[in-house]
Amino acid sequence: MDIKDKVVKVLCEVNPRIWENLESDLLEEGMIDSFEIVNIVMELEEAFDMEIDPEEITPDNFKTVAAIVDLIKRNLQ
């Protein structure tokens, strides 16, 4: 499974509605609220066996699925 598929799987497990918003602005669409962000970060950290720096938990990095994929890729390097 490539990184993007894995990210999508994690996101949709936390909020199934993200499946319909793979191309949209997740924040504008209200797909990630303050409860979901905790679960998303935890699940991503577990799925990719890494830690996300709290300073990287920003609107820019979580705006879209693509932005989250980029964040993971940067961290995996």
Collapsing DSSP to helix, strand or coil, 69 comes out as helix
64 lines the binding site for another protein (CB under 8 A) = no
CB of 62 to another protein, least distance (A): 8
Give the footprint of another protein on residues 3-62 (CB under 8 A): 9, 12-16, 19, 27, 32-39, 41-42, 46, 53-55, 57-59, 62
CB of 23 to another protein, least distance (A): 18
Distance CA(72)–CA(77), nearest Å, equals: 9
Measured over the CA atoms of residue 58, residue 44, residue 74 and residue 1, the dihedral's sign is: negative
